[in-house]
Amino acid sequence: MQLKKGQIVEFDIEKIAFGGNGLGKYEGRVVFVAGTMPGDRVRAAFTKIKDSFSEADLVEVVKKSPDRIEPKCKFFERCGGCQFQFMPYEMQLQIKKQQVIDAFERIGHLENPPVGEIIGCDNQYYYRNKMEFSFGYDEKMEFALGMHLPGRRYDILDLTECHLESEFSSEIVNTVREFMKNTGWPPFKYSVGEGFLRALYIREGKRTNEVMINLVTSDDLPKDFEEKIMEFGEMIKKLAGKNADGKEIKVTTLYHSKIICKRGVRSQIKETLLFGKRTLTEKLILKNGDELSFEILPQAFFQVNTFQAEILYSQVVDFALRKTNNVIFDLFCGTGTIGLFLAKHAEQVFGIELNLDAIRTARENAQLNNIFNIDFMVGDVGKLLHQMKDRPSLIVIDPPRMGLTKEMIGKMADFDAQTIIYVSCNPATCARDYALLTEYGYKMQEIIPVDMFPNSAHIECVCLLER
């Protein structure tokens, strides 16, 4: 039978594919459908037809899976910020663990991969310490502050609740929305490059109960900006709420960031501190008692799940301490969190990162925590490895989603490090890189999946390789 785009068919969903879409089969053909789960019987319309697979949009769930639960958020089916709220959390964890196993079997060519129990998150909701909400217009061209609708470049879903960061965060969003609507300031229209309001960033110190707000706009300031922004600041100062433990949480920092765009010139960001501290302070406490403090600037990267980051880094340190390490390389070190924890257990750590701002923050964090046996270098990891004179016993890598290049793996292997700890946010590329590392004599000892983002399709893992 010849299949056509737009054709509606009915079939059962058998599993969740990597990336979060449901996978079913129609007349022997694999079909991916977003918003479905194992056990669903669905009607779906074909949107893409390839030789080996097809994609389809969900039309309706004819028969719900017996495992389906009611999503907590009323915006779940439209938002796209969460994919799995209709699924019991234990089921989410087992699906993610199986995806890690499948990746290492299929891509890494590893029989019976040593995948340990997945480490779940104690807080299925309100776990994020940073959220970005966009100003814009909804489908009716009404003022909106929320998230981009899936598959829509410009339409914004006007969110009045979100269960990812905190209830206080939702209160801030709703308060800011009403204030900005009353000012008459227009949202920025990316299609024509005109307007003022761009985004609202909210950061929370989950261990310090501090909150940083960053209002991001264009540089086309309204005439009443100075008057209204002072009024806005006074309003924000009065906001206060409770965290998950019932402790008071309040705004300690308010920034206004202007994005300056000129034709032919790279965009610039000018930050103005409206009130409060220059940075947001956060702490990370590992299972072994190691504790570090971090001062976070508006644009700085920091793991968005504080408590689960502690679990992730604890696993890295646990793997590292199974042997004595004099010199450690921390590749793709970001703001230096992993390297700083490892520095307490080594003679010398070298961190390498391409992003200059991240390296500056890493050096500040080292000084803040009185750690002096770590050097941070800015530049391309592959190129800087050629310049390294020291011989590490341990190499820790935490690369971006695309993983490593063959050349990088070869140069890394030239150091003959006994141990590699690979922290991955993409099991598929991690498994691919592992297959290449086996050519240099490395063997996988243990893989620990860590769920950093409940109700989403993302999964991280910490891998221990020995030569």
Q: How many residues does the chain have?
A: 467
Catalytically active residues, by annotation: 425
- Cβ atoms within 10 Å of 194's Cβ, excluding its own: 11
Q: Which residues contact 439 (CB under 8 A, 6 or more apart)?
A: none
> Quick check: helix, strand or coil at residue 364?
helix
- DSSP secondary structure letter of residue 277: -
E strands, 355-393, are 374-378
pLDDT tens for the 467 residues of the chain, in order:
688 899 999 999 999 998 899 999 998 899 999 999 999 999 999 999 988 899 999 999 999 999 999 999 999 988 988 999 999 999 999 999 999 999 999 999 999 999 999 999 999 999 999 999 999 999 889 999 999 988 777 789 999 999 999 999 999 999 999 999 999 999 999 888 889 999 999 999 999 999 999 999 999 999 999 999 999 999 999 998 887 777 889 999 999 999 998 777 788 899 999 999 999 999 999 999 999 999 998 988 889 999 999 999 999 999 999 999 999 999 999 989 999 999 999 999 999 999 888 899 899 999 999 999 999 999 999 899 989 999 999 999 999 999 999 999 999 999 999 999 999 999 999 999 999 999 999 999 999 999 999 999 999 999 999 99
**DSSP string over 102-128:** HHHHHTS--SS--B---B--S-SSS--
State the Cα–Cα distance between residues 268 and 261, nearest whole angstrom. 7
Is the Cα dihedral 164, 271, 229, 141 positive or negative? negative
State the Cα–Cα distance between residues 164 and 82, nearest whole angstrom. 9
Q: Which residues does residue 53 pair with via DSSP β-bridges, in sequence order? A: 30
Tell me which residue of 382, 386, 335 sits closest to 358, measured CA to CA. Answer: 335
State the Cα–Cα distance between residues 133 and 401, nearest whole angstrom. 23
30 Cα distance to chain centroid: 29
Domains assigned to the chain: 8-68 (2.40.50.140), 94-122+283-466 (3.40.50.150), 130-280 (2.40.50.1070)
Burial class (CB in 10 A: 0-12, 13-18, 19+), 257: middle
State the Cα–Cα distance between residues 404 and 430, nearest whole angstrom. 8
Element (H, E) at 147: strand 143-148
Is 0.95 surpassed by the pTM of this model? no
State the Cα–Cα distance between residues 319 and 384, nearest whole angstrom. 25
Q: Which amino acid is at 406?
A: K
Q: What's the CA angle centered on 464, arms 463 and 467, to 5 degrees?
A: 135
Q: Which two tokens stand for residue 186?
A: 């227009």
> Quick check: helix, strand or coil at residue 213?
strand
Q: What's the CA angle centered on 454, arms 449 and 455, to 5 degrees?
A: 125
- DSSP secondary structure letter of residue 208: T
